[in-house]
Amino acid sequence: MCFNYHKFIKFAVKQFYMKKKIVIEYQEFSSADQLSKADAELLKEAVSATELSYSPFSKFRVGAAVRMANGQILKAANQESEAFPSGLCAERSVLFYALSKYPGVAVEALAIAAKKGRKLTATPTRPCGACIQVMLDAQKRGGKPMKIILGAAEKIEVISSVNDLIPFSFDNL
């Protein structure tokens, strides 16, 4: 019997790697009425925070609101700069503000909403990569999952932990 090299390679490859899959679960709602009272209230604050946006360049007004473990609700919006890209997203603005004001207090939930001009976006505005990293840092500091509520005119998405947004996170320090 002669040795089948190709068959052997196929066999070897099969043995040395494993195909894996990551599944992200999240909830989708068609209206804020379906959220808990506290989450609906937080989303309302995020929508009102869009009015605090300074976005003369993009005209994309993003508002974010956090609910802290001590019951406090804080909100902020994206702030743009003439010296692009020196501005900051709404999510990082509100998180840095909240963690400076209440260091050691966990952020329980973060709601995000955005308007193009005066109109709420039809679909949810998801945080950028840099904000997701800072959200993960804030969640670690708080020591418990931070709920993310992404509001929009047509649907609302609720993600139960920042880990779901960044499953392959940097955590080897």
List active site positions.
Answer: 91
Q: Is 128 in the site for Zn ion (CB under 5 A)?
A: yes
The full DSSP string for 97-125 is HHHHHSTT--EEEEEEEEEETTEE-SSPP
Please state the closest distance from residue 87 (CB atom) to Zn ion, in A: 10
Instruction: With CA atoms as reference, report the closest residue to 65 among 109, 20, 9, 104.
Output: 109
Residue 35 or 88: the one with the smaller Cβ distance to Zn ion is: 88
Structure tokens at 78: 């994206």
Does the footprint of Zn ion cover residue 89 (CB under 5 A)? yes
Place of tokens 């989708």: 28
| CB 18, min distance to Zn ion, A | 34
The piece of 23-31, 106-114, 127-135, 136-144 that touches Zn ion (CB under 5 A) is 127-135
Under rule CB under 5 A, residue 131 binds Zn ion: yes
Stretch that binds Zn ion, among 27-35, 124-132, 145-153, 164-172 (CB under 5 A): 124-132
87 or 145: CB nearest Zn ion: 87
Nearest to 25 by CA among 169, 171, 168, 163: 163
Number of Cβ within 10 Å of residue 28's Cβ equals 11
Chain contacts with Zn ion (rule: CB under 5 A): 89, 128, 131
